[in-house]
Amino acid sequence: MEEKLTMSNRDIDKLKVIHNILNGHLTWKEAGKQLDLGRRQIGYLVARVRAEGNRGIIHRLCGEPSNHQVDPSVLEQALSVLHDSRYDGFGPTLAKEKLEALYGLEVSTSALRRVMLQSELWTSRKYAFKHRARRERRSCVGELVQLDGSDHDWFEGRGPRCVLIVYIDDATSRILYAEFVDVEDTLTLLTTTGAYLGRHGRPFAFYVDKDSIYTVNRQATVEEELRDLRPITQFTRAMKELGIEVITAHSPQAKGRVERSFGTHQDRLVKEFRLAGISGKEAANQFLWNTYLPTHNARFAVPPLNTTDAHRPLLNTHRLEEILSVRTQRTLAKDYTLRYQNQFFQILPDQPVRLHPDTKILIEIRLDRSTHLRFKDHYLNFKPLRQKPYKPLALPKPPPKPRATRSSTPAPNSPYRQFHFGRKQAILYSPGTPR
């Protein structure tokens, strides 16, 4: 009977690299660079897979509690001590030393840092990046792919201005995919990346700049810092679900392979379009794929150090139509409606999961511009509303009642008109009566 194993996507990718070692296609050093592991760890995985088969790639502690978890009671004692005003401003490292020396509490620095962030006893600091030396090429195709776009007048005024998106392999300088698009935004990059994945598979990493499409150019909120989360963009989130790392370059020179290629394209490709009389995006893409790229790669590409293709195939769990989408969270109103970009959606009564007002619903905009609503991995039944839901107008407030005005002259029988002039008897007089 065939044994069925449950593996994560990372374990499946790791198993493919180990099989390449067993088949003689990769060395231990090259596999270590792909998996970011040392030689000893690679040798341990090779021995496990050779002895136990595919099961050997699964970690033995999978599904088991960690052997290094900290006793919660010890963390509570540490926090009770650190709440003392004498320890204000203490960092995790110094606090660990004092807890161990004065109170005998042994807590790791990482565990103490986590609970101090959650309790707002400490705020993480940001350090400047260190100097980085010249980076060598990757050894295999698909280990690192540089991605960038160039907005240029490619048709020299004969047609509309457009953007050239280029995916260039770091190991060979070969352009694996390129396409002319109208604008460089998130949906466009997800579309071109989907075309790349369909042709070549999943690379290990994309090397990009610090554009807002790839990185969030804002500080993390307090809630994100307490949960030790970094805000990510839609593109980075999609690549993370596919097991593709997104590496951001700190300068244009860091990803010079793709930057320098644009200088070549803006010189050669513009002249090729002029000679061919091309002035439209569709004709430009056909010329690019059928004529320009084969010639360019044959002349400028270099052979890789290792001929193994490191691209990984798309798995059955990778539903690209769901992953390559723009997701936004909205709160369900009391009338079971959602609002997104001045559009309103009515949730229908028949749903695969129970809903209630104030529920967080995920709005998914796919590449075909269709809208889908999701909650806990269930897609909801809804209908778009043509107009804003009816909201009754508030009744105008009644005008305030006029305040009664008092006369400044006392009435004839007012007590204020009674005076005593040295006698016990009160004299009542009327206006105009002499006293």
DSSP letters for 384-411: EESSPPP-PPPPPPPPPPPPPPPPSSPP
Edge to edge, what strands does the sheet with 360-365 contain? 326-331, 360-365, 371-375, 378-379
Pairing between strand 326-331 and 245-248? unpaired
What is the rounded CA–CA span in Å between residue 170 and residue 140?
A: 9
How many alpha carbons fall within 13 Å on the CB side of residue 107? 30
User: What per-residue confidence (pLDDT) applies to 58?
Assistant: 84
**Within 13 Å, how many C-alpha atoms sit on residue 102's CB side?**
11
pLDDT given for residue 179 in this prediction = 96
- How much is the pLDDT for 190? 94
The answer to whether residues 169 and 145 touch, using CB atoms and an 8 Å cutoff, is yes
Alpha-carbon distance of 352 to 376, in angstroms, equals 10
Alpha-carbon distance 420 to 129, whole Å? 95
Closest CA to 296 of 162, 177, 148: 177
CA dist 328 and 343 (Å) reads: 13
| Distance from C-alpha of 324 to C-alpha of 191, rounded to nearest angstrom | 8
Q: Which residues contact 150 (CB under 8 A, 6 or more apart)?
A: 163, 164, 166, 262, 265, 266
Residue 88 has a pLDDT of 81
Which of 286-324 are b and which e, b meaning 16 or more Cβ less than 10 Å from the residue's Cβ?
Answer: ebbeeebbeebbeeeeeebebebebbbeeeeebebebbb
Q: Which regions of the chain are under pLDDT 50?
A: 423, 425-429
Residue 378's beta-bridge partner residues?
A: 375
The SS3 of residue 145 is strand
| Confidence (pLDDT) at 302 | 93
Tokens 């778009």 found at: 384
pLDDT given for residue 390 in this prediction? 67
- pLDDT at res. 224: 63
The sign of the CA dihedral 158, 163, 165, 168 is positive
CA dist 234 and 323 (Å) reads 10
Q: What's the sign of the alpha-carbon dihedral 28, 32, 37, 38? A: positive
Strands, sheet with 382-385, edge to edge from the N-terminal-most edge strand? 337-340, 343-347, 382-385
pTM: 0.64
